[in-house]
């Protein structure tokens, strides 16, 4: 297969490319990435000479570039490309609408123009945040109405609806996956877990929103990659598949677990003003993908967080370059100079 991966220099995309090249030694992957703040060429620098991996700097919102690329022939598209940080979407929603909504539309239109001569499998990577927030009970299922609460999640929900419409209207072989919070190697250090790990390593305070009791379901990124592989090869067209990690944990628990792994005191935790519209709890039902396709997570949170902490300990140069560049200014704006 020849697979086009959009946003492959980001966290999940780069992990997927590594996973896929290792799992399918005869497949070819083309990575298109705009290289915005979270897209890092260093994530895949060791693959630069592989004949099975090709990088193209590109923007999924560039109509002519995407049409030209897709018309040359690919068997599948895995659409990771997205602006993905809630705080940034609150500060400046424009880029989120352009990339997440219009960019997805551009890709779908390019696929439609070559269909049915080329039948390109389209997997759109979404998020459980499109469902909104849960109370103390309940769980997200694929049949729930969408109720996004941030500009980021609203842009992802909009893209999901476009994918659904293009399948039902034009017959495009498309599916949507909605995953819970990922963690693992190569995650940009503004996200919670890498921020907490890198700060703890440097004996800096760990900023926690509100009371720290916001609950997220955590999944190790390698498990997510396996799920996407499963949907690509065996998932039904036109379907939505939830992907979860069976690890519902409050942010405060996650922070304490990281400090314990590093032998650091819990006194490094600092509670900061909560973000506007902060969803209280996410919990995801992945029984559909488990029942239909036989996938389930295999890496428990404790094992995954140990792997992740060790990776950040042994890759300080990677995240220090980021935290002393553009990210440093962002960090100061969000949490001050302390």
Catalytic residues: 128-129, 152
* Among 199, 227, 214, residue whose Cα is nearest residue 328: 199
Q: Give the span between the Cα atoms of 25 and 39, in whole angstroms.
A: 25
Long-range contacts of 40-48 (CB under 8 A, 24+ apart): 40/9, 40/10, 40/14, 40/186, 40/188, 40/322, 41/9, 42/318, 42/321, 43/9, 43/10, 43/11, 43/14, 43/186, 44/8, 44/9, 44/14, 44/17, 44/18, 47/17, 47/18, 47/21
Q: Give the span between the Cα atoms of 37 and 41, in whole angstroms.
A: 11
- Tokens 């979407």 correspond to 89
- Using CA atoms, how far residue 147 sits from 8, 143, 158, in Å, is 28, 12, 11
At 3 the three-state DSSP class reads strand
Residues 6 or more apart from 292 whose CB is under 8 A from it? 235, 236
Per the rule left: phi > 0, alpha: psi between -120 and 50, beta: everything else, 238 is: left
Cα angle for residues 89, 91, 96 (degrees, 5° grid): 30
* Among 81, 140, 142, residue whose Cα is nearest residue 107: 81
**What DSSP character marks residue 45?**
G
């Amino acid at each position: 297969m020849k697979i086009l991966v959009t946003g492959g220099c980001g966290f999940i995309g780069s992990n997927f490319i590594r996973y896929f090249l290792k799992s399918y030694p005869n497949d070819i992957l083309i990575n298109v990435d705009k290289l915005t703040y979270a897209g890092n060429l260093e994530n895949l620098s060791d693959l630069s000479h592989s004949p099975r991996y090709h990088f193209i700097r590109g923007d999924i919102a560039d109509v002519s570039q995407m049409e030209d690329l897709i018309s040359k022939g690919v068997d599948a598209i895995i659409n990771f490309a997205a602006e993905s940080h809630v705080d940034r979407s609150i500060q400046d929603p424009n880029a989120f609408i352009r990339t997440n909504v219009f960019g997805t539309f551009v890709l779908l239109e390019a696929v439609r123009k070559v269909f049915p001569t080329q039948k390109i499998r389209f997997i759109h990577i979404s998020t459980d945040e499109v469902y909104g927030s849960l109370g103390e009970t309940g769980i997200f299922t694929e049949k729930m109405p969408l109720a996004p609460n941030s500009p980021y999640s609203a842009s992802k929900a909009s893209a999901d609806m476009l994918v659904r419409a293009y399948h039902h209207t034009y017959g495009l072989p498309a599916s949507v996956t909605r995953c819970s919070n990922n963690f693992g190697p190569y995650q940009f250090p503004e996200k919670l877990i890498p921020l907490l790990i890198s700060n703890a390593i440097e004996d800096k305070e760990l900023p926690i929103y509100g009371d720290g009791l916001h609950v997220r379901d955590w999944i190790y990124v390698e498990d997510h990659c396996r799920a996407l592989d499963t949907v690509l090869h065996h998932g039904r067209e036109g379907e939505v598949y939830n992907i979860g990690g069976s690890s519902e944990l409050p942010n405060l628990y996650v922070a304490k677990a990281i400090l314990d792994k590093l032998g650091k005191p819990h006194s490094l935790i600092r509670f900061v003003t909560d973000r506007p519209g902060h969803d209280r709890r996410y919990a995801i039902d992945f029984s559909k993908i488990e029942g239909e396709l036989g996938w389930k997570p295999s890496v428990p949170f404790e094992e995954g967080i140990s792997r992740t902490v060790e990776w950040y300990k042994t890759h300080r140069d990677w995240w220090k370059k980021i935290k002393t560049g553009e990210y440093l200014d962002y960090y100061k704006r969000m949490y001050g100079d302390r």
